[in-house]
Amino acid sequence: MVATAVIVYLAFLLLLRVFGARLLTGLSAFDTIVVIMFGAVAGRVILGHPPTLATGLIGLLTLVLLEVVFGALAATARGRRAIAGRARVIVAHGRVLEPARRRAHVNRSELRSALRRAGVSSMDQVACVVMESSGHLSVIRVGQPIDPELLDGVLGADEVLRRG
């Protein structure tokens, strides 16, 4: 059962890497149902049939230990990149970088929503939009010079700094 919990945990990490952190941010009602169903399926797989108190406690302990181990790995820059991925520029100087947007699994509707939340009324007001490794979209508006340090380690930063 411990091996099953480890495999399920690693499978979830792989899903997050493949589909990106957007999988768990800004969930719609449908997305929430899918995540709950993933959890239910994972729980049944980890606990087996019939579930017992002992298997439940062992499963929970295994998941907590895995979280501790991967949390320690994520404390290093290399581990964080391997587990969570890297931030990525998806808009530079008001221009959507389509390949980057698609790789980040951000649809146009989500991008427009993030721009509206940032108070942007025109793409001309956008210096860049960064898809953070957390899955959130950060909007940096035109008007101030961008410190290159702010974009250190961000994929596509050169697109922003080239003209900035």
Per-residue pLDDT of 48-63, as tens digits, reads 888 888 888 888 888 8
Cα separation, 161 vs 116, whole angstroms: 24
- Provide the mean pLDDT of the chain: 86
Helix, coil or strand: residue 132? coil
17 pLDDT above the threshold of 90? no
For the segment 107-121, the average pLDDT, to the nearest whole number, is 94
- Convert the pLDDT of each residue in 64-107 to its tens digit: 898 889 888 888 878 877 777 789 999 999 999 999 999 888 99
Which is it for strands 137-141 and 126-131: parallel, antiparallel or unpaired? antiparallel
- Convert the pLDDT of each residue in 128-161 to its tens digit: 999 998 889 999 999 878 999 999 989 999 999 9
Q: Does domain 88-161 have CATH number 3.20.20.60?
A: no
pLDDT of residue 160: 93
- Can you read off the two tokens belonging to residue 151? 């974009």
pLDDT of residue 26: 66
Q: How confident is the model at residue 22 (pLDDT cuts 50, 70, 90)?
A: low
Q: List b or e across 43-66, with b for residues whose CB sees 16 or more CB atoms inside 10 angstroms.
A: eebbbeeeeeeebeebbeebbeeb
Domain ranges of the chain: 2-84, 88-161
164 pLDDT above the threshold of 60? no
**Counting Cβ atoms within 10 Å, is residue 29 exposed (0-12), middle (13-18) or buried (19+)?**
exposed
32 pLDDT above the threshold of 80? no
23 pLDDT above the threshold of 70? no
Angstrom CA distances, 55 to 63, 64, 138, 144, stand at 12, 14, 42, 56
pLDDT of residue 120: 96
**Choice among 24-33, 97-106, 109-118, 151-160 with the minimum mean pLDDT:** 24-33
**Counting Cβ atoms within 10 Å, is residue 22 exposed (0-12), middle (13-18) or buried (19+)?**
buried
